[in-house]
Amino acid sequence: DNTTAATNLTDGMHILTESLMANGVSKMYGVVGIPVTDFARIAQAKGIRYIGMRHEADAGNAAAAEGFLTGKPGVFLTVSAPGFLNGITPLKEATENGWPCIMIGGSSTRNLVDMGEGDYEGLDQMNFAKPFCKASFRVDNLEDIPLAVARAMRIALSGRPGGVYIDFPGETMGLSMDADAAKAMIYTVNDPCPAMVPSQTSVDTAMKLLAGAKNPWIILGKGAAYAQADEEIQNFIHATGIPFQPMSMAKGLLPDDDPLATLSCRGLAMRTADVVLLVGARLNWMLQFGKGKKWNPDVKFIQIEIDPAEIDNSRYIDAPIVGDIKSTMKMMNEALKTTPVKASAEWQQLLAADIAKNDARFAGKTASSEVPMNHYNALGAVKKVMDKNHDVYLVNEGANTLDDCRDIVNQYLPRHRLDCGTWGVMGVGLGYAIGAAVTTGKPVVSIHGDSAFGFDGMEVETICRFHLPVTVMVLNNGGIYRGDFENLGTDGDPSPLTLDATAHYEKMMEAFGGKGYFATTPDEVEQMLAEAIASKQPCMINVQLSVHAGVESGHIGNLNPKPVTGPL
Ligand code: ADP
Ligand code: MG
């Protein structure tokens, strides 16, 4: 009869929730509104932890961070049109970074959108998303929901990981069907990220090249961190004694203070290495595309890479190994038995001498007690605290704040540093910090330049609302790059780079119930940061720097075009 039939119905929102849960999704970040509000309520009621945030870009970044840290896609939710567009930026950034991430966007009425009749927040979201992620699907039928989730999981995780968009029209959410029939449709995707074992020939060729090298060098990228092949990589480096360079998010795969780490002699290693083994690192702008005057002109490259299309992307690769890093490093460790590889003491000592020289030069700057502070001595104080808290996650964005923190603050554990990433962007920090805190339950220190903080500062409220153990630190030098630039015109406005050097950012944390600190000396930075981390409560430390501290564009000022004429 009708009564029984009516009570045994389910809808699109329940089916999507159950499909996500069947595939291991336990958290969702987002901002609700028409048409996704009830979906978020239902997901929460059913047991998906819902982290309501203040901007979709931050929700997307939190999900992306979860993807990097766990190797499972983070999931985030947006409303239609503007919320959707705000979510596209982090989805593309996750895709650029090679991190699995699934965006679910509510959307408006199909026929009105397709006819351009002017629906509320009407936008052809599925098609707009396509260039910005690995795949984009729209679910128009309830039967398609489990399939969309399964395909999103598989595509986000397999090959080079990345973002997937699922468009979820309001109409589909409200469709109904028999609950038992719906239950029967739901399934768990089978082996979404299978091992991709490379050919033995490619491994043998690479091993031969490495064994014949005079100055072998290993570059570990964030793909190596993501691959969770920590032990295989550590074993290979320990067995061969090959010096290694961790790219910023590979820092900690081996401790940064390992004698073979080339962090402070990267330039010399680039000029002198003759065989370079790339492990999950691309020869993009961060490595000068593997060519040009910074590199040894005769350098040969071995590249371990999951994506075959990446090989030869910017230059000839002598020994490509297409496969996953875990399988490959296992085979390379095995191959050491028949093809021993040992870096020479001569090469190790050449680099070690340069490291000692550069470290000594740096030490004076980071230990200085000069006030107002600059990036070096403020971050020197941060380093002291982080050296005693290896399991604290570090998020870092800015220009000088990014470059100097990466150079000064050591990492000791894999996947404990999140930063601007492949595009070198700002505005990812608090999203990453929230994602890291929610995912790991561990304390997070999130260090931002004052400009970078401005993009997502409102998430301080989210940190407080969820009582997350996040310490936000702003290094305030009063501007983009620096606070002492002048308006070159006559209207008396601040310069395009100027921000408020006297702002009390820490009061934002106090406004939402967290603890605020204002630090003006390196000793205060050290003591306040130690206290904030230990409290496991939302805290914010506003670090007053000199407006003269910092250089334009940090370490990448060369990327600015040079004006031919004009006031500069
Ligand atoms: P970084 O910026 O740290 O140098 P990149 O993001 O440029 O690192 O490079 C990471 C590379 O690692 C990407 O090309 C990606 O396809 C690759 N990658 C990611 N996961 C794996 C894996 N499991 N096995 C092999 N390669 C991987
Ligand atoms: Mg600044």
Ligand 1 contact, 198 CB (< 6 A)? no
pLDDT at 2 over 60: no
Ligand 1 contact, 282 CB (< 6 A)? yes
Ligand 1 contact, 247 CB (< 6 A)? yes
CB atoms within 10 A of CB 453: 31
pLDDT at 259 over 60: yes
Question: Rounded CA gap, 532 and 472, in Å?
Answer: 9
Q: Ligand 1 centre from 280 Cα, in Å?
A: 4
Q: Which ligand is nearest to the CA of 67?
A: 1
Q: Please name the residue whose Cα sits nearest to atom 16 of ligand 1.
A: 160
> Tens digit of pLDDT for each residue in 169-208?
999 999 999 999 999 999 999 999 999 999 999 999 999 9
> Tens digit of pLDDT for each residue in 83-111?
999 999 999 999 999 999 999 999 999 99
Question: Rounded CA gap, 560 and 563, in Å?
Answer: 9
Ligand 1 contact, 102 CB (< 6 A)? no
pLDDT at 146 over 90: yes
Measured CA distances, 227 to 157, 230, 243, 487 (Å): 11, 8, 20, 48
Q: Ligand 1 centre from 456 Cα, in Å?
A: 27
Global model pTM greater than 0.90: yes
**Index of the ligand 1 atom closest to the CA of residue 98:** 15
Q: Ligand 1 centre from 425 Cα, in Å?
A: 18
Ligand 1 contact, 256 CB (< 6 A)? no
Q: Ligand 2 centre from 480 Cα, in Å?
A: 5
Q: Ligand 1 centre from 69 Cα, in Å?
A: 14
For the residues 309-336, what does the mean pLDDT come to? Answer: 98
Q: Quote the mean pLDDT of the chain.
A: 96
Token pair listed for 495 = 């310069």
Burial class of residue 114 (count of CB atoms within 10 Å of its CB; 0-12, 13-18, 19+): exposed
Ligand 1 contact, 280 CB (< 6 A)? yes
- Specify the pLDDT at position 555: 84
Q: Which ligand is nearest to the CA of 304?
A: 1
Ligand 1 contact, 68 CB (< 6 A)? no
Name the residue of 93, 222, 278, 329 to mutate for ligand 1: max ligand atoms within 8 A of Cβ: 222
- The structure tokens 């000022």 sit at 557
Q: Which ligand is nearest to the CA of 197?
A: 1
Ligand 1 contact, 222 CB (< 6 A)? yes
**Index of the ligand 1 atom closest to the CA of residue 219:** 4
Report whether 290 contacts 264 (CB < 8 A).
Answer: no
pLDDT at 350 over 50: yes
Q: Ligand 2 centre from 362 Cα, in Å?
A: 21
Ligand 1 contact, 223 CB (< 6 A)? yes
pLDDT at 553 over 70: yes
pLDDT at 3 over 70: no
pLDDT at 5 over 60: no
Residue 289: which region, alpha, beta or left (left: phi > 0; alpha: psi -120 to 50)? Answer: left
C-alpha dihedral, 206 to 212 to 218 to 221, nearest 10°: -20
Question: Rounded CA gap, 350 and 499, in Å?
Answer: 44
Name the residue of 244, 305, 332 to mutate for ligand 1: max ligand atoms within 8 A of Cβ: 305
Ligand 1 contact, 470 CB (< 6 A)? no
- 50 sits in which H/E element: strand 49-52
User: Which of 439, 236, 213 is closest to 328 using CA atoms?
Assistant: 236
Q: What pLDDT band is residue 568 in, cutting at 50, 70 and 90?
A: low
